[in-house]
């Protein structure tokens, strides 16, 4: 049996049900780590359809940072999330292969593991540190390896960053996020602490995650915010209520996590799918048994467009996000090489303005069960 954590040049007869195009591109798979992201092969002609509206660029900006249009989320590389603990050496190889394929933006956090994801990312990127942008996050207290609550007191932030730098094997973090708002600490104090870290050269840019527009404005007034990270996908569209317009107004980038609907777009799921108790998705409302039958209609829409675009549903979802605003940089996570290659192929999927309007009309006509209500747009998570 092949090991799907390995690169395809080390695999035999690798198959992926949702990727018909693999059958015709085995040679390209072996060469893929040598290509830039724009050269990743997908199931379409060599010349993609022209794009109107938001054009796909070779790079995007998050404040002062220039990054690849799709990054790599590294949360699941630590145990305790969606998968059994992956082999560490395989995750190091995957991250390095992602860079060789054109990825320059890698996302982690100290709470992932905790600490394990940062250690993996640090090991993987140590020899290519100056060629990539590295993002991590703070915001919690720990007792050993247990999370004991939120803490964004300024002194605590600075102490946590020193530990992060050691685990990441670097002298600076390119993008440091507030992971979740600490209700006991004013946002001005949090932003000021990160500003101090920027002045000290330990951090290059400030980010916030799952905050409301008012909190974002408060942070930005003290220390310029480069990016907001929040869940955004075909199914979870809360950022469209107010956050995306706020980011556009302030010149702030937006980084969607969960852009492939927590993996629901994979062919292995249907209305009868159930998740093990230890799988984080078991507690996600839009993946609950009573929600799946309704929400699978969005999956069906993505599959329909995948047929039209000679792509995969995952690629349609990512390409749709890229087409919404030119400051959006999705960070799909994966622990598997074929999925990595599939995700990055989304940069070659193009929508015309008419297609985007048609897609939007079909999407808004579908009901969604279990996503966050519009009122949540004014709350901090």
> Which residue is it, tokens 């937006």?
254
DSSP-assigned beta bridge partners for residue 256? 230
d(CA 288, CA 143): 32
6: left (phi over 0), alpha (psi -120 to 50) or beta: beta
How many angstroms separate the CA atoms of 236 and 224, rounded?
A: 27
Among 82, 112, 142, 177, the one annotated catalytic: 112
Per-residue tokens: 273: 């799918």
The token pair at 133 is 């942008």
Burial of residue 338, with CB atoms counted within 10 A of its CB: 0-12 exposed, 13-18 middle, 19 or more buried: buried
Neighbours of 357 (CB within 10 A): 12
Identify whether 142 is a catalytic site residue: no
The catalytic residue positions are: 112
């Amino acid at each position: 049996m092949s090991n799907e954590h390995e690169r395809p040049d080390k695999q035999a007869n690798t198959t992926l049900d949702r990727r018909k195009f693999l059958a015709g591109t085995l040679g390209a798979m072996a060469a893929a780590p040598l290509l830039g992201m724009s050269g990743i092969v997908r199931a379409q002609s060599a010349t993609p359809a022209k794009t109107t509206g938001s054009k796909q660029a070779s790079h995007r900006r998050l404040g002062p940072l220039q990054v690849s249009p799709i990054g790599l989320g590294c949360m699941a590389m630590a145990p305790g999330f969606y998968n059994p603990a992956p082999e560490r050496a395989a995750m190091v190889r995957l991250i390095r292969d992602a860079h060789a394929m054109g990825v320059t933006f890698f996302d982690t956090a100290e709470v992932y593991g905790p600490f394990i994801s940062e250690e993996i990312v640090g090991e993987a990127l140590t020899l290519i540190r100056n060629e990539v942008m590295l993002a991590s996050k703070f915001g919690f207290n720990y007792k050993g390896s247990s999370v004991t609550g939120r803490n964004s007191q300024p002194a605590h932030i600075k102490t946590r960053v020193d530990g992060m730098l050691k685990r990441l094997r670097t002298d600076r973090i390119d993008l440091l996020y507030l992971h979740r708002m600490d209700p006991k600490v004013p946002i001005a104090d949090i932003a000021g602490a990160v500003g101090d870290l920027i002045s000290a050269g330990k951090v290059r840019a400030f980010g916030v995650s799952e905050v409301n527009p008012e909190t974002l404005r408060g942070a930005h007034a003290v220390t310029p915010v480069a990016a907001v990270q929040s869940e955004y996908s075909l199914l979870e569209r809360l950022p469209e209520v107010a956050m995306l317009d706020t980011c556009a107004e302030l010149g702030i980038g937006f980084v969607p996590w969960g852009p492939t609907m927590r993996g629901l777009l994979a062919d292995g799921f249907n209305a009868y799918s159930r998740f093990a108790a230890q799988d984080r998705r078991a507690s996600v409302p839009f993946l609950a048994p009573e929600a799946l039958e309704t929400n699978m209609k969005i999956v069906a829409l993505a599959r329909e467009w995948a047929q039209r675009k000679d792509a995969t549903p995952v690629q349609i979802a990512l390409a749709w996000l890229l087409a919404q605003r030119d400051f959006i940089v999705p960070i799909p996570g994966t622990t598997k090489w074929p999925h990595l290659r599939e995700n990055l192929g989304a940069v070659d999927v193009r929508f015309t303005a008419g297609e985007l309007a048609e897609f939007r009309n079909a999407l808004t006509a579908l009901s969604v069960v279990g996503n966050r209500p519009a009122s949540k747009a004014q709350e901090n998570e």
